[in-house]
Amino acid sequence: MKVVLILIAMIFLAGCTSKPNAILAGHASDLKSHQRFGVCYGYACNIYQKTGLNDQEWNAVRKLFLVEAVSAKQERNRIAKAVALIEQFVGPKTGTDNDKARAPIVNFNIKTEMDCIDEATNSTTYLYLLRQDGLITYHTLGAKLRRNWSNFSYPHSAATIYEINKSKVVEGAGHFVVDSWFHKNGALPEIIPASVWRGRWYPKNNRERYNFTAS
C-alpha cells in the first residue's frame, strides 16, 4: 500500500517546474505486472503510453539478479543495470530510444524526449516492478526527491530508494537517488546518496547506452 501511495504521489509532478497533471490519474492501477505498465514522455508526462515487457525481456532483467547480491551496494549496481535494460526494451516501443541526455528547457522536438519528471516517474515504475518481483531485497522505494532554486540548482526531481534496516530519514545515510535524466536512453542511471544529489551535483562524464552484450 505504501508503494502505491508513492506512485500516486508522482501524479502531482509535472515538468521540472512542477504542476499537477491529470494524465497520470490511472498510473498506479496500470501497474499490473511487467507485462502492463505506463510510461511518461514528452515533458511533464505530456504523453502517457501503456506498454510492457514480454516474458523473454523480463527474464533478461531477472538474470541480472540471478546471483544473490551480498550487499546493498552490489544490489544498487544491479538496479542501475536493470533500469538501463528496461529503458532499452521500452524505448523502441514508445519511440523514446533516442532520448538524449538531460532535457533542454527550450526544445522544439519533445515528443520523444523526457524531462526529469518523465524520468523520475518511469524510474519509480521500474523500481516498483523489480521490488514487486522480489528482485530487490536490500532496498525499498522512497518518494521522489526534488531540488529547487534554493538548492542553488534549477528545479530537478528524481526517484529514490532506501536501504532496508536503516532509518528512513530523507537525505539520511540509507537514502539514495536513482537519476536516469543525466544520460541518454539505456545508459546506467546515477545512484548516489540523496544528501550529495540534493546539493548542486552533476556527473562529470556523460554515459553512453550500456552494452549488455559486452558485459
pLDDT > 70? residue 132? yes
Helices and strands, number each (H, E), in the chain: 6, 6
- Residue 18 has a pLDDT of 52
pLDDT > 60? residue 11? no
CA angle (39 as vertex; 42, 201 as ends), nearest 5: 70
- Residue 50 has a pLDDT of 94
pLDDT > 70? residue 1? no
Question: What's 177's DSSP letter?
Answer: E
All residues at 6 or more sequence positions from 9 whose CB lies less than 8 Å from its CB, including other chains: 143, 144
Question: Is pLDDT larger for residue 11 or for residue 4?
Answer: 4
CA–CA gap between residue 123 and residue 126 (Å, rounded): 5
Q: pTM for this one?
A: 0.87
Burial of 127 (0-12, 13-18, 19+ CB in 10 A): buried
Measured in degrees and rounded to the nearest 5, phi and psi for residue 184 equal: -70, 170
What pLDDT band is residue 101 in, cutting at 50, 70 and 90?
confident
- Residue 14 has a pLDDT of 39
- Residue 17 has a pLDDT of 54
pLDDT > 90? residue 100? no
Q: 130 is written with which cell numbers?
A: 523489480
What pLDDT band is residue 156 in, cutting at 50, 70 and 90?
confident
**Over residues 65-85, mean pLDDT:** 97
Which 3 state secondary structure label does DSSP give 142? strand
pLDDT in tens, 16-52: 655 445 555 566 667 879 999 999 999 989 999 999 9
- Residue 112 has a pLDDT of 85
Cα–Cα separations (whole angstroms), residue 171 to 13, 90, 166, 180, 204? 20, 30, 12, 19, 22
Cα–Cα separations (whole angstroms), residue 186 to 26, 38, 163, 169, 181? 26, 17, 24, 30, 11
Facing residues of 145 across strands?
158
Question: Is pLDDT larger for residue 14 or for residue 97?
Answer: 97
What pLDDT band is residue 67 in, cutting at 50, 70 and 90?
very high
CA–CA gap between residue 93 and residue 111 (Å, rounded): 14
CB 128 within 8 A of CB 141: yes
- Residue 214 has a pLDDT of 77
CB count in 10 Å sphere of residue 62: 16
Which 3 state secondary structure label does DSSP give 88? helix
Question: Is pLDDT larger for residue 143 or for residue 28?
Answer: 143
The residue among 194, 199, 191, 200 whose CA lies nearest residue 82 is: 191
Candidate from 18-27, 71-80, 177-186, 189-198 with smallest mean pLDDT = 18-27
Q: 95 is written with which cell numbers?
A: 519511440
**Over residues 114-125, mean pLDDT:** 95
- Residue 108 has a pLDDT of 57
Residue keyed to cell 537514502: 175
